[in-house]
Structure 1
Amino acid sequence: MRYVQLRAFHHVAVSGGFSRAAEALHLTQPAISDQVRKLEEEYEILLFNRHKKQVSLTPQGDRLLEITRRLFDSEQQALELLSEVRALRAGTLRIVADSAHHLLHILARFRDRYPGVRITVHSGNTESVLDALYAYEADIGVLGNMPESRDIEALKLNSTPIVAFVARDHPVAGRPSLSFRDLAALPLVLREEGSRTRAKLEDNARVAGIVLTPAIEAEGREAVREIVASGAGVGFVSAAEFGSDARLVSIPIMGGGEMMMDEALICLRERKAGKLVQAFFEVAAEMATT
């Protein structure tokens, strides 16, 4: 087994094809195909199902990919360690967040301090944020709760209650509060399954003996916001994420017990020592104490 063979396999697996892997590695497609073929022949194992121009991982390929993700991520960390100054001048930091709102002030200070670092921010829910971290597709995540896993390093950013929100001209817009019984009688606009806000809301409603059934289920916070703004129903969000929108009003939820969302900055513990991740956490910690 040679390094170049594992590298070829890894890039085909993560990019979804031999031609894209060849582009990423600046090699020809026949060279990539040959390296993967030799790896399979040497160990008498099939790593990819090949059908016409489509490739997919076999079960053995899936297991090998789990290993090569760690291998090449460790290689990247070693590179960062050996060129720390350069990493903070021209590296790339990948963030996936359940709400970018909690990052805005941190991003501004981080960019002031490290203007050469490129940052990508993608949105997701609790499940997809964790999946991205464990798949090494993101360096840092933002979640609406403090995870208890030993694999995760977390920094609490804030803690705010879940509130309901409606269009400004909605019939209940002037109410001082809403109970779960009130909510059960209204058309609700809920996030997709996997949303921590939705899960906490539904759990607390069940404790109160109420089942909340969505009239509309939408993927993503912005989709919910736009649907609610149209007057179609009642949405839910943590108070910190409600923001400022002249079309909407927020309403406290009463009688539901403790429904606080602890927004946290997280990363895999094994990656906390990475220069860019460490620098971002340091800036976030400064902001949390000022």
Structure 2
Amino acid sequence: MRYVQLRAFHNVAIHGGFSRAAEALFLTQPAISDQVRKLEEEYDVLLFNRNKKQVTLTHSGQQLLEITRRMFDVEQQALDLLSESRALRAGKLRIVADAAHHLLHILAAFRRTYPTVQISINSGNTETVITSLHAYEADIGVLGEIPQAGDFEVLKLNSTPIIAFASRDYLQADHAIMTLDELSKHPLVMRERGSKTRQKLESMAEQCGVKLTPLIEAEGREAVREIVAARGGVGFVSSAEFGQDSRLVRIEIDGPEMLMDEALICLRDRSNGKLVRAFFDVARKLTEAVSGL
């Protein structure tokens, strides 16, 4: 087994094909194919299902990819250690967040200190955040709960209650207070299953003997917001994510408080990466400054 063979396999797997892997490694496609073929022949194992339209991983290939993700991530960490100043000047940080709203002040401060670092932000619910981090598809996650698993480094950002909201035209009010039972009688617009906000809301409703049945299910917080703004019904969100939108009316929930703990997380074995550590340091200073007020 040679390094070049594992590198070829890894890039075919993450890029989804031999041609794309060749482009990423600045090699020819036959060279990549030959390295993967030799790896398979040496260990008498099939790593890819090949057909004319696509290349997919076999079960053995999926298991090997889990190992090579860690292997090449450690290699990148070693490179970062040996070239720290370059990593903080020209690196790239991948973030997946259930709500980018919680990151705005952190991003602004981070950009002032590290203006040339590239940042990509993707959205997703709690399940997506956890999956992306475990798959090494993201460096940092933001989600509405404190993970119980010990493989995460966690920094709590804030804790705010869940509220309801509706279109100003729909509710004909500037502010309202309703019980869960009263809210259940309205057309409800709720996020997809897997959303931590929805899980906490439904759990509390069940404890109160109330059934919340969504009339509309939408993927993502922004989709819910736009549907509600178009008089689609009543939606739910954490207070910190409600923001300022003149189209919408805030509805306080009269009942037991349901708090959403928003947290910044990363895999513990990646917490010493230069960019990850720098981002956490900035976030920690800002969080401590706010809590100390």
TM-score range, shorter chain: over 0.9
**What SS is found at the alignment partner of 1:166?**
strand
**What SS is found at the alignment partner of 2:55?**
strand
Question: Whole-Å Cα distance in 1 between the matches of residues 121 and 258 of structure 2?
Answer: 27
Offset of residue 175 of structure 1: 5.8
Offset of residue 254 of structure 1: 1.1
Per-residue CA deviations over 1:262-287 (Å, capped at 9, x if unaligned) read: 10000001111111111100100111
Q: How does 1:225-236 map to 2 (within 5 A)?
A: 225-236=225-236
Matched, 1:222 2:218: no
8 Å Cα contact 1:145-1:261 kept in structure 2: yes
Offset of residue 76 of structure 1: 0.6
Question: Whole-Å Cα distance in 2 between the matches of residues 249 and 138 of structure 1?
Answer: 35
Q: Residue 50 of structure 1 corresponds to which residue in structure 2? A: 50
**What SS is found at the alignment partner of 2:209?**
coil
Q: Residue 263 of structure 2 corresponds to which residue in structure 1? A: 264
- Normalising by structure 2, report the TM-score: 0.97
Q: Residue 194 of structure 2 corresponds to which residue in structure 1? A: 194
Offset of residue 173 of structure 1: 4.1
Question: Whole-Å Cα distance in 2 between the matches of residues 166 and 40 of structure 1?
Answer: 58
- Normalising by structure 1, report the TM-score: 0.98
Matched residue type, 1:271: R
Which sits farther off after the overlay, 135-144 or 172-181? 172-181
Q: How does 1:7-18 map to 2 (within 5 A)?
A: 7-18=7-18
Question: Whole-Å Cα distance in 2 between the matches of residues 172 and 205 of structure 1?
Answer: 25
Q: Residue 65 of structure 1 corresponds to which residue in structure 2? A: 65
Q: Residue 178 of structure 1 corresponds to which residue in structure 2? A: 178
8 Å Cα contact 1:173-1:251 kept in structure 2: no
Q: Residue 154 of structure 1 corresponds to which residue in structure 2? A: 154
Question: Whole-Å Cα distance in 2 between the matches of residues 31 and 183 of structure 1?
Answer: 62
Cα 1:172–1:199, aligned 2, differ >3 Å: closer, same or farther?
Answer: farther
Question: Whole-Å Cα distance in 1 between the matches of residues 232 and 245 of structure 2?
Answer: 16
Offset of residue 174 of structure 1: 5.1
Offset of residue 258 of structure 1: 2.9
Gaps of 5+ in 2: none
Offset of residue 172 of structure 1: 6.4
Question: Whole-Å Cα distance in 2 between the matches of residues 19 and 147 of structure 1?
Answer: 39
Gaps of 5+ in 1: none
Per-residue CA deviations over 1:8-42 (Å, capped at 9, x if unaligned) read: 10111111111111111111111111110000000
8 Å Cα contact 2:197-2:238 kept in structure 1: yes
Matched, 1:280 2:279: yes
Q: How does 1:17-166 map to 2 (within 5 A)?
A: 17-166=17-166
Question: Whole-Å Cα distance in 2 between the matches of residues 189 and 120 of structure 1?
Answer: 29
Give identity over the alignment, percent.
69
**What SS is found at the alignment partner of 2:171?**
coil
Question: Whole-Å Cα distance in 1 between the matches of residues 103 and 175 of structure 2?
Answer: 31
